Amino acid sequence: MNKTDFSSLPLAAELLDNIAALGYEKMTPIQAQSLPEMLQGKDLLAQAQTGSGKTAAFGIGLLHKLITRANQTQALVLCPTRELADQVSKELRRLARAIPNTRIMTLCGGTPIKPQYASLEQPPHIVVGTPGRILQHLQKGSLRIDKLNKLVLDEADRMLDMGFQEEMLHIIDMTPPHRQTLLFSATYPDEIHAISEAVQNEPVHVRLEETHDDKKIKQVFYEIQKGERTKTLIAVLHHYRPESTVVFCNRKFQCQELAEELWQQGFHALALHGDLEQKERDQVLTQFANKSSSLLIATDVAARGLDIKDLQAVINFDMAHDAEIHVHRIGRTGRADKEGLAISLFMAQEAPRVTAIEEYQNSPVTIESTAKLKLRDNFRLSPPMVTLSINGGRKDKLRPGDILGALTANTDLNGKMIGKIDLFDRIAYIAVERPIAKQALRILGEGKIKGRKFKVKKLR
Ligand code: AMP
């Protein structure tokens, strides 16, 4: 038996069967490194990104030894955003199919609290949610965690970045001291060490080295002078013309400023940073993923969890503070079949960071002169799609088919002109090809969807 076989773990047969039914053949590295110790009840401090299989790692840990006949909340997963909480709940429910009568509940802000009170009358075994809303329930007494034995802090660095530290610590204070605490974070700033020290008990450390062996990434560095950053970024965009790019900045406020500046220069750029509300974040990510925006300006923390396929380029507007973060950033571009592009801008005083990257990746980097960057006349990088928004979503019983139907039935539009349709609770986003955007806006605005009128807007 191999160390990466799930069957090497002391799990119940039903759980093992279900894992196999889900098509998980081997443990991912984070699972193989954390599960044996986690199942022994040890605390865990793990570095893991979205896509590493971390959710299944702690999910299996939480389901192991869960007592479904006890009407008590036994595990709590704290997440920074509703988006992540929904993803986690989904994965937990898939894993829990094997264990009859497991109750898993998601409790997040931004949705009415009243229905949650009703659902909580029968305590869920596992609660997943965002700190603010969980604390509200604890203070109201609608949720009790005094019998909790497992606590997960997922994307802990992002929770801190979003200002949840106080709520998090308050919640942890209300849990029994003899709990198992599993902390997942993609980066390890000092604050994470401090939290770990404060709330964990001799945690096992798991740190994964990023490997991108299966990807081809063309990496180029440009040395710039003071005041040349934005100009060089624009020159890079002219020269390489990438259709979809994430530009990394080190500070939140820079993202917004840079996005505005790029707009003025005729680029479609959107900022993604920790100060956005969930609704705005959903909108920005939707526009970028459905190809109606070509540039996403983000901080490391905000870009966490970003799962965007077809990313052609990553540009380090600011150099990452450490080589590991740099490698993680550029790993977002390039796929097995296509070469990705990673551009980094640095000033002379940042040269030690470039050296650190060379040492980390064990190979020299290519430094090119900005003079080689070719500017093009009348260059515009306009994204192929435009996003329309409708003030109706899942909770209004809308489905993608209804919207597609409204756009294409009795009109001269066809399905090929319509891109992704993303439905949220009360809002829907529809990507349409740029040349037909006005027409699509008119059709949806003047007509009805499922017999009802909706407000339709074209997003910038
Ligand atoms: P996560 O990093 O938790 O967001 O998981 C990334 C994806 O990998 C999810 O779609 C999981 O369902 C899937 N996954 C998790 N564990 C495994 C595994 N051992 N084998 C194959 N897929 C997995």
Q: Give the least confident one: 169-173, 238-242, 387-391.
A: 238-242
How far, in Å, from the CA of 79 to the mean position of ligand 1? 18
Closest C-alpha residue for ligand 1 atom 22: 24
pTM above 0.75, yes or no: no
Burial of 138 (0-12, 13-18, 19+ CB in 10 A): buried
pLDDT band at 382 (very low <50, low <70, confident <90, very high): confident
How far, in Å, from the CA of 177 to the mean position of ligand 1? 31
**Which tops the pLDDT comparison, 414 or 301?**
414
Q: Residue 319 above 90 pLDDT? A: yes
Q: What is the mean pLDDT of residues 430-457?
A: 95
CATH of 6-207, one of 3.30.413.10, 3.40.50.300, 2.60.40.1150, 3.40.50.10800: 3.40.50.300
Closest C-alpha residue for ligand 1 atom 11: 53
Pocket test for ligand 1, best of 24, 83, 308 (most atoms within 8 A of CB): 24
Q: Residue 165 above 70 pLDDT? A: yes
Which residue reads 């901080």 in tokens? 299
pLDDT tens, 341-354? 999 999 999 999 99
How far, in Å, from the CA of 56 to the mean position of ligand 1? 6
How far, in Å, from the CA of 351 to the mean position of ligand 1? 37
How far, in Å, from the CA of 245 to the mean position of ligand 1? 25
* Helix-helix angle 323-330:351-361, to 10 degrees: 70
- Cβ-proximal residues to 116 (8 Å cutoff; 6+ apart), any chain: 107, 133, 137, 142
- Is residue 4 in contact with ligand 1, taking CB distance under 6 Å? no
The DSSP-derived string for 396-426 is: GT--HHHHHHHHHTTSS--GGGEEEEEE-SS
- Is residue 55 in contact with ligand 1, taking CB distance under 6 Å? yes
pLDDT band at 186 (very low <50, low <70, confident <90, very high): confident
How far, in Å, from the CA of 6 to the mean position of ligand 1? 13
What's the CATH code, domain 385-458?
3.30.70.330
**Which tops the pLDDT comparison, 50 or 453?**
453
pLDDT recorded at residue 307 = 66
**CA nearest 43: which of 187, 194, 206?**
206
Helix (H) or strand (E) holding 314: strand 313-316
pLDDT band at 194 (very low <50, low <70, confident <90, very high): very high
pLDDT recorded at residue 1 = 65
Q: What is the mean pLDDT of residues 68-97?
A: 95
pLDDT band at 380 (very low <50, low <70, confident <90, very high): confident
Q: What is the mean pLDDT of residues 15-36?
A: 94
Distances (CA, A) of 328 to 51, 210, 221: 12, 7, 16
Domain locations along the chain? 6-207, 217-372, 385-458
pLDDT tens, 324-336? 889 888 988 875 5
**Contact indicator for 110, 279 with CB cutoff of 8 Å:** yes
Closest C-alpha residue for ligand 1 atom 5: 53
pLDDT tens, 201-249? 999 999 876 554 546 889 999 999 999 999 999 999 999 999 899 999 9
Closest C-alpha residue for ligand 1 atom 6: 51
pLDDT band at 337 (very low <50, low <70, confident <90, very high): low
pLDDT recorded at residue 196 = 96
- Is residue 52 in contact with ligand 1, taking CB distance under 6 Å? yes
CATH fold match for the domains 217-372 and 385-458:
no
Distances (CA, A) of 35 to 40, 178, 199: 9, 19, 20
pLDDT recorded at residue 335 = 59
**Contact indicator for 128, 137 with CB cutoff of 8 Å:** no
Closest C-alpha residue for ligand 1 atom 8: 53
- Is residue 91 in contact with ligand 1, taking CB distance under 6 Å? yes
Closest C-alpha residue for ligand 1 atom 13: 53
DSSP state letter for 299: -
- Is residue 28 in contact with ligand 1, taking CB distance under 6 Å? yes
Mean pLDDT of all residues belonging to the chain: 92
Closest ligand 1 atom, CA of 54?
Answer: 3
Q: Residue 308 above 80 pLDDT? A: no
pLDDT tens, 105-132? 999 998 899 999 999 999 999 999 999 9
Give the Cα separation of 4 and 52 in Å (integer).
Answer: 14
Closest C-alpha residue for ligand 1 atom 14: 53
pLDDT recorded at residue 210 = 53
**CA nearest 434: which of 421, 420, 417?**
417
- Is residue 50 in contact with ligand 1, taking CB distance under 6 Å? yes
Pocket test for ligand 1, best of 6, 7, 55, 93 (most atoms within 8 A of CB): 55
**Which tops the pLDDT comparison, 376 or 49?**
376
Which residue reads 């550029």 in tokens? 330
**Which tops the pLDDT comparison, 216 or 149?**
149
Class of domain 217-372: alpha beta
- Is residue 51 in contact with ligand 1, taking CB distance under 6 Å? yes
Closest ligand 1 atom, CA of 94?
Answer: 12
Closest C-alpha residue for ligand 1 atom 20: 24
DSSP state letter for 211: -
